[in-house]
Structure formats: structure tokens, C-alpha cells
């Protein structure tokens, strides 16, 4: 069984939360100290860029590259917003981190603010994560008492304020520009880009947006160095570790930190305890609900950004949801699409009206009323919704439909041919 020395989960004991004392015992805040004492902000940015860290929130954009577009050295108000609106179905990694070790995020936020010349950070937290908010508030209180937060941190002259904001509880609030609107008290509809948040974001000021897990990796990059961090991954192009979520039809659903690039089959077998009830693996969502399915053919595929793109899907959030062989993939896809249709903000037509139409088509097929025409229409929906919506919600929503039509076309056809769901007996 392949494992690794955990970075983010190093203090994690199920049912316990580690605060400042425990966090410091295992080297906590050494990254911040090192950055403030020994490194210029530019050097911190350089180190993060060299580490090859990619955004852990779903899109997988290079963190270093994102930071390089940020006007770090410009004077004036700028913000860091930490996206903790973890609402992707099958994803619960950020929650596990905050339940176990909230200072991890706080240190990452402070280093990022130092690197980007930012004095105010907002942690935008999913509404349901009440305990996480409590943990963070407590951690912030401790940090403030210890001189790690607020004015003149560790005597370095660097000052930073952090605010925790709990979301209104909509999936769209995790879309970075909708998040900014939500944070400003507006309707959470996405903004058009350009201007990008790095130019004009929160309250019209330059804003850096990063996921919780992404920021929590930053202290380790600073203490361990970019080269070491990069070497942690199993794949050549990968970098660092990843918090994988394991859910669905598994014996032991869990969240586990492993090197980036773990093969899917190994993950399911060694950490998920294999498919439940001795059934076989039919498919999985590799990284949350908005990523196209993988099938039993893909069990050897490494779970990394590039390797998954090669097989037509995405690493997303790393939340693997497994379906056993008795699952009807039409029904599973319908279930996912109902979620996305419900969570559309209603701004653009393809998402607001297209997704319910997809649901209707899937309902017809699943209930045995589907026709060949419905199948054609479903293919058209995939073609016209993808890439034509205002933000990425609809694109992600169509991921499962894409997977369904690519890998399970025969199963869909069977529904139409038989006039019923073939998996229902």
C-alpha cells in the first residue's frame, strides 16, 4: 500500500481539532516566519511558481501563474479571498482540513497576503460548515494573541486582517466572481471577465482568489522548498500531495492525503476498501460532480491534472465518487443534473433553461418514454451548452452527460429500445 508523509493532514486525528499549540509542535508557522524573516514577497511568489502548485479548487490553474498576474507591488487596497465554498458534490476535503487543523489555512492565507502585498483577506466559507467557522474564529483569536495576525506580524512590519464570511449556501457562490458579488452583498451572479479579479475584483479592487487546500499547501512549499514539494508527486508533471475524497459505493469512504498522481484503482482498493458488497466497479466521478465519468477501463489512470485530461475528464477537486455495477448511469446522471439545474443562478439561458431541458430528456429516457429523437436532442444539448454559457457552471454540469454519452451510450440506447430502465428488475 502506497502512502506518503502527510503535509496538510499531518496533525489530523479523527474527531479532534488541533489548535495553535499542537500546530506549532509539528512545525506550524515556520513557513510564515521564514517568509517574513528571510524572503521578499517576490521570492515567495517565485518559490510558489517554481513548485508547480496547481489550484485545488477544481480548475487546476497554476497558482504561481495566477499570482504573477496580480499587481502585488501596486500600492492601494487589494484583497485575498479564500474560496471555501466547498459545494461540489462528492467533495469534503477542505472541511476535513478545517475540522482537523484550522491554523494550516490561516498560515497559508498570511503567507499569500505577504507575497501579494495584501492587507485584508476574506475566507468565504460554505454556509453548512459551521464548525469549521468556529474553528477558524478560534484559530484567528489564538493567532492574534500570539502576534501572528493583525498589526506588525511577528515584528516584521507586515500587517494583515482576516475575516471569515459564511456563504448564503448556493453552489454558484463558489464561482469566483459570483463569490465576489455575494461577498459584496449582491446577487451571486457571475461577473464577466475581463476584467479579471486580479485587476478588478472585490469592491472593484485587485483581488487574488485561491482555494483552501491550495493556500494550505503554501507553508510547506516555503519550508520545504519548491523542488522538494514538486518531487512529492508520483507523476512527472505533477507536484505535491492531494487530498482525495472517496465516496459512493465503497466499503470505507474517506478523505486521504496522497501524492498527486495516485492510480485510480489503487486508491479505490487500498483506501476506499474496494467497491461495497463485493460488487464490481462500474464508473466514477474522478473529481466531483462536474467531471466526466471514468470507467473500469481507467483504473490504471493516475489521478493528476494532465493524465486525466488525456482521458477526457478532469481532476477537479479530487473528490472520487464510485458507482457499482448495479447503478443505472442514466439515473445517476439525472440525479447530478437535477442538482446543477437547481443550483443555476438563472443568469444565462443555456444554464438556466438548458439544464432543466437536459433533466427532462434524461427523465424521459430513464422512465422508458425516451425516443431516438430524445437521444439526438441530448447530444445537441451537450454540443450547445458546452462553452456557450456565461460561466463554467453549465460546462461542469454537462460533464456527467458528456461521460454518459461517451462511455454509456449503449446503456442509454437500451433504455430507449426496451422502453424501461434495464437495471430495474
200 binds other proteins (CB under 8 A): no
- Give alpha helix (H) positions in 146-243: 176-183, 212-224, 226-231
Cβ pair 352, 313 in contact under 8 A:
no
- Min CB(415)–other proteins separation in Å: 18
Candidate residues 342, 379, 409, 419; the one interacting with other proteins per rule CB under 8 A: 342
- Give me 268's grid cell: 479505490
353 binds other proteins (CB under 8 A): yes
Kindly tell me which of 252 and 349 has the beta carbon lying closer to other proteins: 349
- Min CB(54)–other proteins separation in Å: 25
- The residue whose grid cell reads 469566483 is 176
- The residue whose grid cell reads 483569536 is 141
Cβ pair 215, 108 in contact under 8 A:
yes
Cβ pair 223, 243 in contact under 8 A:
no
Candidate residues 205, 388, 406, 420; the one interacting with other proteins per rule CB under 8 A: 388
Distance separating the N- and C-terminal Cα atoms of the chain: 38
Kindly tell me which of 208 and 361 has the beta carbon lying closer to other proteins: 361
Candidate residues 170, 282, 298, 314; the one interacting with other proteins per rule CB under 8 A: 170
108 binds other proteins (CB under 8 A): no
Residues 6+ apart with CB under 8 A from 179: 81, 83, 85, 124, 167, 173, 188, 209
Residues 6+ apart with CB under 8 A from 111: 31, 32, 35, 44, 218, 219, 222
**Among the residue ranges 199-207, 217-225, 263-271, 337-345, the one whose residues contact other proteins (CB under 8 A):** 337-345
343 binds other proteins (CB under 8 A): yes
424 binds other proteins (CB under 8 A): no
192 binds other proteins (CB under 8 A): yes
Q: How many residues does the chain have?
A: 425
Kindly tell me which of 9 and 340 has the beta carbon lying closer to other proteins: 340
419 binds other proteins (CB under 8 A): no
Cβ pair 309, 288 in contact under 8 A:
no
167 binds other proteins (CB under 8 A): no
CA distance 321 to 254: 11
- The residue whose grid cell reads 432543466 is 356
**Among the residue ranges 153-161, 230-238, 379-387, 416-424, the one whose residues contact other proteins (CB under 8 A):** 379-387
**Among the residue ranges 25-33, 54-62, 322-330, 381-389, the one whose residues contact other proteins (CB under 8 A):** 381-389
**Among the residue ranges 127-135, 290-298, 386-394, 396-404, the one whose residues contact other proteins (CB under 8 A):** 386-394
Which residues would be at the binding site for other proteins (CB under 8 A)?
170, 172, 187, 192, 341-350, 352-354, 356-357, 360, 373, 377, 380, 384, 387-390
Amino acid at each position: 500500500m502506497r502512502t506518503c508523509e502527510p503535509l496538510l493532514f499531518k496533525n489530523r486525528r479523527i474527531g479532534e481539532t488541533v489548535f495553535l499549540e499542537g500546530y506549532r509542535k509539528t512545525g506550524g508557522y515556520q513557513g510564515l516566519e521564514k517568509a517574513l524573516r528571510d524572503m521578499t514577497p517576490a521570492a515567495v511568489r517565485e518559490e510558489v511558481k517554481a513548485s508547480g502548485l496547481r489550484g485545488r479548487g477544481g480548475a487546476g490553474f497554476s497558482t504561481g501563474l495566477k499570482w504573477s498576474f496580480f499587481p502585488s507591488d501596486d500600492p492601494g487596497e487589494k484583497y485575498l479571498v479564500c474560496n471555501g465554498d466547498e459545494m461540489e458534490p462528492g467533495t469534503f476535503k477542505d472541511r476535513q482540513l478545517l475540522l482537523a487543523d484550522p491554523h494550516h489555512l490561516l498560515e497559508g492565507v498570511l503567507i499569500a497576503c505577504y507575497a501579494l502585498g495584501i492587507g485584508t483577506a476574506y475566507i468565504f466559507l460554505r454556509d453548512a460548515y459551521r464548525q469549521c467557522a468556529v474553528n477558524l474564529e478560534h484559530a484567528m483569536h489564538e493567532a492574534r494573541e500570539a502576534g501572528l495576525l493583525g498589526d506588525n506580524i511577528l515584528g516584521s512590519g507586515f500587517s494583515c486582517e482576516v475575516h471569515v464570511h459564511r456563504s448564503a449556501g448556493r453552489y454558484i457562490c463558489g464561482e469566483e466572481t459570483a463569490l465576489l458579488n455575494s461577498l459584496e452583498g449582491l446577487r451571486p451572479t457571475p461577473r464577466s471577465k475581463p476584467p479579471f479579479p486580479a485587476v478588478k475584483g472585490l469592491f472593484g479592487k485587485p483581488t487574488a482568489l485561491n482555494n483552501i487546500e491550495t493556500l494550505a499547501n503554501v507553508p510547506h512549499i516555503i519550508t520545504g522548498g519548491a523542488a522538494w514539494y514538486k518531487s512529492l508527486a508520483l507523476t512527472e508533471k505533477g507536484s505535491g500531495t492531494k487530498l482525495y475524497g472517496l465516496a459512493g459505493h465503497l466499503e470505507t469512504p474517506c478523505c486521504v492525503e496522497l501524492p498527486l498522481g495516485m492510480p485510480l484503482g489503487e486508491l479505490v482498493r487500498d483506501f476506499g476498501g474496494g467497491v461495497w458488497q463485493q460488487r464490481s466497479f462500474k464508473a466514477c466521478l474522478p473529481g466531483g460532480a462536474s467531471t466526466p465519468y471514468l470507467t473500469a477501463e481507467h483504473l490504471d489512470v493516475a489521478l493528476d491534472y494532465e493524465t486525466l485530461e488525456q482521458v477526457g475528464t478532469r481532476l477537479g477537486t479530487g473528490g472520487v465518487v464510485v458507482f457499482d455495477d448495479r447503478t443505472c448511469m442514466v439515473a445517476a446522471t439525472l440525479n447530478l443534473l437535477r442538482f446543477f439545474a437547481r443550483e443555476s443562478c438563472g443568469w444565462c439561458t443555456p444554464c438556466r433553461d438548458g439544464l432543466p431541458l437536459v433533466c427532462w430528456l434524461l427523465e424521459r429516457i430513464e422512465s422508458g418514454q425516451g425516443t431516438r429523437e430524445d437521444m439526438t436532442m441530448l447530444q445537441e444539448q451537450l454540443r450547445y451548452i458546452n462553452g456557450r454559457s456565461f460561466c463554467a457552471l453549465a460546462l461542469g454540469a454537462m460533464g456527467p452527460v458528456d461521460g454518459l454519452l461517451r462511455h454509456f451510450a449503449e446503456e442509454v440506447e437500451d433504455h430507449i429500445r426496451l422502453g424501461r430502465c434495464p437495471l430495474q428488475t
